[in-house]
Amino acid sequence: MTQASAIILNTFEQLEPSIITKLATIFPKVYSIGPLHTLCKTMITTNSTSSPHKDGRLRKEDRSCITWLDHQKAKSVLYVSFGTVVNLSYEQLMEFWHGLVNSLKPFLWVIQKELIIQKNVPIELEIGTKERGFLVNWAPQEEVLANPAVGGFLTHCGWNSTLESIAEGVPMLCWPSITDQTVNSRCVSEQWKIGLNMNGSCDRFVVENMVRDIMENEDLMRSANDVAKKALHGIKENGSSYHNLENLIKDISLMKVRN
Sheet of 150-155, strand order: 133-136, 107-110, 77-81, 150-155, 172-174, 195-197
- Whether residue 109 contacts residue 130, with contact meaning beta carbons closer than 8 Å, is answered with no
Assess whether 177 and 211 both reside in one domain: yes
Partners of 134 in beta bridges: 108
The number of distinct structural domains making up the chain is 2
Q: What pLDDT does residue 60 have?
A: 66
Assess whether 200 and 238 both reside in one domain: no
98: enclosing H helix or E strand: helix 90-102
Assess whether 226 and 239 both reside in one domain: no
Q: What pLDDT does residue 3 have?
A: 81
Which amino acid is located at 106 in the chain? P
Q: What pLDDT does residue 52 have?
A: 47
Assess whether 90 and 121 both reside in one domain: yes
Whether 222 is covered by a domain: the verdict is yes
Q: How far apart are CA 74 and CA 215, in angstroms?
A: 11
- Whether residue 204 contacts residue 99, with contact meaning beta carbons closer than 8 Å, is answered with yes
pLDDT in tens, the chain (259 residues): 668 889 999 999 999 999 999 999 999 999 999 999 999 888 777 665 555 445 555 556 678 999 999 999 999 999 999 998 888 888 999 999 999 999 999 999 999 887 787 678 999 999 999 999 999 999 999 999 999 999 999 999 999 999 999 999 999 999 999 889 999 999 999 999 999 999 989 999 999 999 999 999 999 999 999 999 999 999 999 999 999 999 999 999 988 666 6
Structural domain harbouring 74: 64-231
Assess whether 111 and 190 both reside in one domain: yes
Assess whether 189 and 241 both reside in one domain: no
For 105-226, strand residue ranges (E) read: 107-110, 133-136, 150-155, 172-174, 195-197
Give 105's Cβ-side CA count (13 Å radius): 30
Assess whether 103 and 163 both reside in one domain: yes
Assess whether 96 and 192 both reside in one domain: yes
CATH classification of the domain holding 131: 3.40.50.2000
Assess whether 10 and 123 both reside in one domain: no
Assess whether 210 and 246 both reside in one domain: no
The helix-helix angle for 36-47 and 240-258 (nearest 10°) equals 80
